[in-house]
Amino acid sequence: MYPRVTNLMMLGWLVIAAAPFAAPTNPPGADSSILELTGGLKGSTLAYLFTFDDPNTGGKDSITVTYTTPVTGWVSVGTSETGLMIGSDAVIGIPDTGEVKKYSLTSLALSDVKPMPDDKQTLVNAAITQANGFTTLTYTKILVEDGEIPINRVGENIFIAAHGPSSTLGYHSARGSFSLSGKVIERDDSLWVVHGWLAAIAWGVMCPLAILAGLFRKYIPGQGTWYQIHRILQTLVIVLTIASVAVAIAALNKETPASLSANHFSSDFSDGHRLIGLLVLIFGIGQAANGSIRPHLPSKPEPDDDEEGNQSTPPPAGEKSVARKLWEVLHRLLGVGLLALAWYQVDLGIVWYHEIFNNGDSESTLNAFYGVIGVLGALIVIGVAMRVLMG
């Protein structure tokens, strides 16, 4: 219903299903277990077996993983310290080429998802196969390797998994994060909720109300009251926007390993949501500054008294300067363009929040958002039409 074009590969590894898997069951054979995955990975299974002093890995302890999913596409399984994609190590199988290699996931962008160097490709018996509508990725990996996330024989191990609808590497169709002990890994969304509400209130409510105060100024009692309302609301818009960006930066810093860049304002993520947010902030501050340095209107002439003390008809007001006329056009065009960009930005935020935290179910939230801005937007159109018709 709300299509999005994206070059992201595995944003979904940031998505943690509410209950991504069931408790492990033990098939015949010591030290082996099978996880029956649910949530976004429903129908998939991950079997694993620890082998001590494995002769296939030069006498080093190893884990053999078999991930089976009911799709015919690329498959990936990885180890993580946080349950998030960035900073994780992954084994990706690509059916189109038959390659199964290790990758370091340092970015969400597809262009940055590249195999580890050849001397790091130490997998044993790695293969990806497809049959009867299922894809199976299997490999044996050394538990502890230099520069990679270690896998513990005893204790918690966090894994991430994803698969796509194509046999060539691309965007995922399902994803999840889990531990081998059966512990659910959940991503904290509290900062993102605050970020979204701040932006939605600023640009979905306060900014349209500020515009309406200017359009319907004749109906607001009190000399200059409309302007005070307009200025206060626009100031709050900027304050809330700054706060919203600050909260988003804090959330990204919290989720990104210290050794990696959070890419706060990169255009590669969420259809450019991060970069657009920066542009909204910059143009918003610029619009506020533009309003504070506006050329003044001509002074209203005072009516003259005749000899009997009666006031004569006030002379016509002086004509606006060219600078004032140009400023008004610029201020209005920038305001309308900025509001449209901000509404698009909030739309993107809603879509990607639900993609990450709610399995993509954003329809009800989008309907509520468009219901509010639809009413306020209609009032703005009416106000503009009235000013044009009434001169």
Helix (H, G, I), strand (E, B) or coil at 35: strand
The predicted-structure confidence for 351-388, as pLDDT tens digits, reads as follows 988 877 776 789 999 999 999 999 999 999 999 999 88
* Distance of alpha carbon 389 from alpha carbon 391, whole angstroms: 6
This prediction's pTM: 0.66
What is the length of the chain?
391
**Does domain 190-296+319-390 fall into CATH 1.20.120.1770?**
yes
Q: Classify residue 140 by its DSSP letter.
A: E
Which position has the token pair 């290790």? 102
Q: Look at residue 33 in the predicted model and tell me its pLDDT.
A: 84
Give residue limits of the domains in the chain: 11-179, 190-296+319-390
Please spell the DSSP secondary structure of 191-238, one letter per residue: HHHHHHHHHHHIIIIIHHHHHHHHHTGGGS-STTHHHHHHHHHHHHHH
The predicted-structure confidence for 303-315, as pLDDT tens digits, reads as follows 555 445 455 555 5
The mean pLDDT value for 260-281 works out to: 82
Please spell the DSSP secondary structure of 365-382, one letter per residue: HHHHHHHHHHHHHHHHHH
The mean pLDDT value for 69-90 works out to: 87
Cβ neighbors of 27 (< 8 A, separation 6 or more) are 33, 34, 47
CATH of 11-179, one of 2.60.40.1210, 3.40.50.1370, 3.40.50.920, 1.20.140.10: 2.60.40.1210
In this structure, what token pair is assigned to residue 59? 């006498």
In this structure, what token pair is assigned to residue 363? 């329809």
Determine which of 95-104, 224-233, 240-249, 264-273 has the lowest per-residue pLDDT on average: 264-273
Q: Look at residue 314 in the predicted model and tell me its pLDDT.
A: 54
pLDDT category of residue 20 using cuts at 50, 70 and 90: very low
Laid out side by side, the sheet with 174-179 consists of: 99-105, 88-94, 75-80, 158-163, 174-179
* Distance of alpha carbon 367 from alpha carbon 297, whole angstroms: 42
Amino acid at 297: L
Which position has the token pair 């959070």? 262
Angle between helices 363-390 and 322-357 (to 10 degrees): 170
Q: What integer best gives the mean pLDDT of the chain?
A: 82
Enclosing H/E stretch for 359:
none
Amino acid at 97: T
pLDDT category of residue 167 using cuts at 50, 70 and 90: confident
Q: Classify residue 115 by its DSSP letter.
A: B
Helix (H, G, I), strand (E, B) or coil at 29: coil
Percent of the chain with pLDDT over 70: 81
The predicted-structure confidence for 57-68, as pLDDT tens digits, reads as follows 999 999 999 999
